[in-house]
Amino acid sequence: MTTSGAKSWRYDYRLAGGRETLTIGLYPDVSLTDARDALLAARRLVARGVSPARAKQETRAKARTARANTDQAFGQKWYDAKAPHRSKSWCDNAKRWLEQDIYPALGNKPIGEITPDEIERLVRRVAEKRGAKSGHLARLIFAQVFKSVPRDLHVGNPARDIGSVVELPKPKPKGRPLTVKEIPTFLGAIDRYPARPSTKLATKLLMLTFVRKMELIEAPWDEIDLKGAEWVITAERMNMDKPHIVPLSRQAVACFERLQELACGSPFVFPNNSDPRRPMGASTLNVLFDRAGWKGRFTPHGMRSTASTGLNAQGWPGDAIERQLAHTERDLVRAAYNHADFLNERRRMMQSWADYLDSLCSGADVTPMRKRPA
């Protein structure tokens, strides 16, 4: 009986030469039958040299940890860490997927107890409600949240393990490629338009690197190695399992060096005009293209098709071109081989492409730089 007069079931025992007490529970909240069952289980632990009182404390501690380590708790930590360095559109989308899809379904569950089947059902529900792409992106966010969990919790990454569970529709072409004759005309129009120097340099870098628009305009400086002439886009920003290497031509390095001067200490290569702690707005390049006279004719995404068409016509290996475009390789063994085997080829290709663009803009004859292998 406690000092307040409450009665409880207790078990006094000796272990390793010392006296310990296990409080089973209050009477009558714990019935006689339940108390006897708990006593029997405790005696079995003592017989094995295990302290029932300590085991109960550890169980309670694990339960408290589980309650603190919910999916929503880690999801919020992940979002809070990423949001200050991402665009407003990214923040809005990520917050919507978390708050409207993930948290209502699994937010209160300890993250270590979430199963691949639960994630798959969630992804399919999102896909049915808002389309396959939304379901796919919800799974990617889930995978990134799991990736942010400390390793000592040993939760793995069930969102990554299930792979793609919804079939994405084939993307519609985003802008036709420029013809060879149009490249100097287009770059001349951009150069003449009274836009900010950094925006014009972004256009040039799209042509020199043919990365995706958001990969370029959200690039942080810590991805750029000017001495090594290499840009390594993180796996997280690529929504892939590994980073993407972009060899930089001499012309691309010169663009980045000028951008360092214009960035004025911002962590981003292309800081936002109103807040240098954020990257350039997602629509900035599209607006420039439209106002420079190319509305409805060419978009930033079309740069990738322009480069692909030109390089294929010049006879560069298709695998090297596809690898540089970061097109997903379904055969993982082949993907690893391409990654290692084509990097030197890609370096030569990127420099040759930059030199070719210079020759076009200087009025040289349009001729292939490389004959297609026999």
Right CATH for 7-68 from 2.40.160.40, 3.30.160.390, 3.30.470.10, 3.30.470.20: 3.30.160.390
Long-range contacts of 23-28 (CB under 8 A, 24+ apart): 23/53
Please, are residues 169 and 136 in contact by the beta-carbon 8 Å criterion? no
> What distance lies between CA 337 and its chain's CA centroid?
23
d(CA 59, CA 169): 47
Tens digit of pLDDT at every position of the chain (374 positions) = 556 667 888 888 888 778 888 888 888 888 888 888 888 888 888 888 888 878 777 777 666 655 667 888 888 889 998 888 777 777 888 888 888 888 888 888 888 888 888 888 888 888 888 788 778 888 888 888 888 888 877 778 888 777 666 665 555 555 578 888 899 999 999 999 999 999 999 999 999 999 999 999 999 999 999 999 999 998 878 866 678 999 999 999 999 999 999 998 999 999 998 888 889 988 899 999 999 999 888 888 888 999 999 999 999 988 889 889 987 554 444 444 444 458 899 999 999 999 999 998 886 555 444 544 43
* CATH class of the domain whose range is 182-361: mainly alpha
The domain segmentation of the chain, as residue ranges, is 7-68, 71-161, 182-361
* DSSP per-residue letters across 174-218: -SPPPPTTHHHHHHHHHHHS---HHHHHHHHHHHHH---HHHHHT
Q: Count other C-beta atoms under 10 Å from residue 137's C-beta.
A: 20
Give the CB-side neighbour count of residue 20, counting CA atoms within 13 A: 19
3-class secondary-structure state, position 342: coil
Q: Please provide the DSSP assignment of 241-274 as one string.
A: SS-EEEE--HHHHHHHHHHHHHHTT-SBSSB-SS
Q: Do domains 7-68 and 71-161 have the same CATH topology?
A: no
Quickly list H helices, the chain: 32-47, 52-68, 71-82, 88-96, 103-106, 116-130, 132-147, 158-161, 182-192, 197-209, 213-217, 235-238, 250-263, 284-289, 302-313, 318-324, 332-341, 343-361
Overall residue count recorded for the chain in this entry: 374
CA–CA separation, 306 and 19 (whole Å)? 80
CATH superfamily, domain at 71-161: Tyrosine recombinase, N-terminal domain (1.10.150.130)
